[in-house]
A and B are shown apart, each in its own frame.
Chain A
């Protein structure tokens, strides 16, 4: 954190790449989900962790947003997991198509 010319608090954050990796524990804490939920998402193909087994799983920073979106869709719109997975894919496509 630093202070800018006006004396206002200026927050300096850590820059992360989409491809930077976090552990399973980080992901669970960050998105307030249980391990079980994450393994279900992986089984559904919504998340694609690196590393062979659960202990070595590493997720990209980009996955954090995916997990949150799935949780929100389930919670708020009553979407089931397969529907949420489809929605995510379609959202990705829209984002791709809308890129200027």
Chain B
């Protein structure tokens, strides 16, 4: 397995003082905490940072780690050189709530024995914790229903007291009509129970991927539709995309920019189906050539129009 450079992870010099290490950790922990971070791989980075700090904050572990560093041989795999930890006694258990620490194989191979055998809870029965995750789906998935594969990393305690990170892929049915913010509860897919306790549940919160041109609000969908000035002014029949397929739409004559055309029932097909609102966005043809400029000039001369009339500018 690979050597982990904990100093590099925390961005500190190998000779850094303890308080510098603590400062570095605190800043990075805040930055990557999965509940508040927007960074990619926040969860993994948070774990890496936590593991690095777990070793470097403890003078005993830090010394042991430093000693090992120069002798680390990747081929050696899970066995540190003999006698390297002779004379060191690791005190205490790692901090943390349910003891569900989530360390890498590298860490476990060096410090795993600190936890001691029987670290698992014998004779203790408890239903597993529920897990919460967000699942990103496309708007179209909600219109038609879909199935989505998601990968989850769940920490688990094995019977002999080690914590392993189990990688799971689940295929989940995305029901038609699902809305942002709704949750799908998958029974028994959360953390394993202790003893004879049953597994907890997995809650998946639905979030839509941002769409190139649809905007979602509850069960309603908004589409900004570019139209030519003459289409808005004179009316037109245009083809319009919707998440359930293209449709023909009649634009009434004398439509103003920003006009909302409501297509009832064409929003998300929830229990109460939402509506699709087409919002007219008048786009000007470019005045790139002589002919276009002539036409614009004619409009200017022949149509009396002051768009700023209500602004009372001199």
Contact = CB atoms under 8 A, between A and B. Distances in A.
A73 B184 contact: no
Interface of A: 2, 4, 8-18, 29-32, 61-62, 64-65, 68-69, 71-73, 75-77, 87, 91, 100
Interface of B: 29-30, 33-36, 46, 50, 96-98, 127, 129-130, 132, 147, 170-173, 175, 178, 181-187, 189, 200-205, 210-211, 215-216
B33 to A, nearest CB: 6
12 contacts: A4-B171, A10-B173, A13-B185, A13-B186, A17-B182, A18-B181, A29-B127, A61-B203, A64-B132, A68-B35, A77-B29, A77-B33
Contacts of B29: 76-77
Contacts of A100: 210-211, 215-216
A8 to B, nearest CB: 5
A16 B172 contact: no
Given A13-B186, A76-B33, A68 B170 contact: no
Contacts of A13: 172-173, 184-187, 202, 204
A30 B202 CA distance: 10
A10 B132 contact: no
A32 B129 contact: yes
A63 to B, nearest CB: 11
Nearest to A73: B35
A30 B130 contact: yes
Given A32-B129, A75-B96, 6 more contacts: A11-B170, A11-B189, A13-B186, A62-B181, A64-B203, A91-B35
A31 B172 contact: no
Nearest to A12: B173
A69 B35 contact: yes
Given A12-B173, A77-B29, A30 B201 contact: yes
Most interface-central of A13, A32, A68 (chain B CB within 10 A):
A13
A13 B216 CA distance: 23
Nearest to A20: B183
A68 B211 CA distance: 29
A72 B29 CA distance: 12
A14 B33 contact: no
A2 B173 contact: yes
Nearest to A91: B36
Contacts of A73: 33, 35-36
